[in-house]
């Protein structure tokens, strides 16, 4: 909630709460936990000088069996909260610009602040109703088959401290389109998809490139994701790092390298 976008959204009430008690409460913490270096930078920009443990969230590895079944039309997937910060209006406008042949866009997630109606209005105004499917909120266990039956994951967000769904999509073998407001440079560095600026224009370019690739090329891109998630984001790694952080707080061991002191 201390990311720049979050602090700027409905800022008057948040600034009041920050001045009255939130900053004081946080300044009294012996250690802050950030899930990425980007989130740690947000804490520093907010003026917090506490030590920060940078420990990523653990990510489940799905038990997906066998190659993806061929689907027609091919499916791009958005799975997250239906909220203004997630960039869904950009997605609708970019999709309407590209109109990829043989593709559909599936949107999964709970509506927040009534944003779903705004997105659906934009879909109708753009004339892409036939391309969009809205599945609403789903149970946590139901997400894995949806990942498995998709070909591409898209999260055009304006703010993420971590972006768990990105990790889940990569763990499921999906190539990803997301923005540089997420702490996922591996997408670009490891050739796992497209890590782009926010906005309709960059998103349209990425969608055009992704949906123009043959299925085997997209599959090869996504196939690199599970090994990266297993190596860098296993629950055992997160647990070991948090145990070490508490050990340092208790004076039982030296400061781990992932704890940043100002």
Residues 227, 119 share a domain: yes
Q: In sequence order, what are the residues at sequence separation of 6 or more whose Cβ sits closer than 8 angstroms to the Cβ of residue 251?
A: none
pLDDT at 65 over 60: no
Q: Is 64 within the bounds of a domain?
A: no
The more confident residue out of 5 and 157 is: 157
Report d(CA 112, CA 259) in Å as an integer.
34
Residues 250, 154 share a domain: no
Residues 95, 194 share a domain: yes
Q: Mean pLDDT, the chain, as a whole number?
A: 94
pLDDT at 202 over 80: yes
Residues 113, 84 share a domain: yes
**102-137 pLDDT tens trace:** 999 999 999 999 999 999 999 999 999 999 999 999
Strands (E), 26-151: 32-34, 52-54, 74-79, 103-108, 132-136
Residues 206, 255 share a domain: no
pTM more than 0.95? no
Confidence of residue 61 (pLDDT cuts 50, 70, 90): confident
pLDDT at 204 over 90: yes
Q: Is 69 within the bounds of a domain?
A: no
What mean pLDDT do residues 189-213 have?
97
Give the range of the structural domain holding residue 255, as residue numbers without chain letter.
Answer: 4-56+234-260
DSSP 176: E
Number of domains in the chain: 2
What mean pLDDT do residues 232-261 have?
95
Residues 250, 127 share a domain: no
Report d(CA 89, CA 86) in Å as an integer.
9
């Amino acid at each position: 909630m201390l990311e720049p976008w979050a602090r700027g959204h409905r800022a008057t009430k948040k600034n009041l709460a920050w001045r009255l008690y939130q900053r004081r409460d946080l300044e009294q913490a012996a250690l802050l936990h950030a899930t990425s270096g980007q989130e740690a930078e947000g804490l520093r920009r907010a003026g917090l000088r506490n030590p920060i443990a940078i420990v990523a969230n653990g990510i489940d590895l799905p038990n997906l069996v066998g190659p993806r079944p061929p689907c027609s039309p091919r499916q791009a997937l958005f799975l997250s909260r239906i909220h203004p910060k997630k960039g869904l209006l950009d997605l609708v406008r970019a999709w309407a610009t590209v109109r990829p042949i043989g593709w559909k866009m599936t949107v999964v997630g709970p509506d927040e602040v009534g944003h779903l109606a705004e997105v659906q209005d934009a879909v109708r105004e753009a004339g892409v109703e036939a391309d969009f499917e809205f599945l609403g909120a789903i149970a946590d266990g139901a997400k894995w088959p949806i990942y498995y039956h998709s070909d591409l994951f898209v999260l055009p967000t304006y703010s993420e401290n971590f972006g768990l769904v990105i990790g889940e999509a990569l763990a499921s073998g999906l190539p990803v389109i997301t923005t540089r407001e997420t702490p996922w440079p591996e997408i670009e560095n490891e050739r796992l998809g497209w890590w782009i600026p926010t906005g309709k224009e960059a998103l349209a370019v990425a969608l055009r490139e992704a949906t123009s690739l043959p299925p085997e090329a997209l599959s090869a891109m996504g196939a690199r994701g599970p090994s990266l998630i297993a190596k860098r984001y296993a629950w055992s790694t997160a647990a070991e790092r948090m145990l070490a952080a508490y050990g340092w707080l208790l004076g039982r061991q030296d400061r781990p390298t992932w704890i940043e002191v100002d």
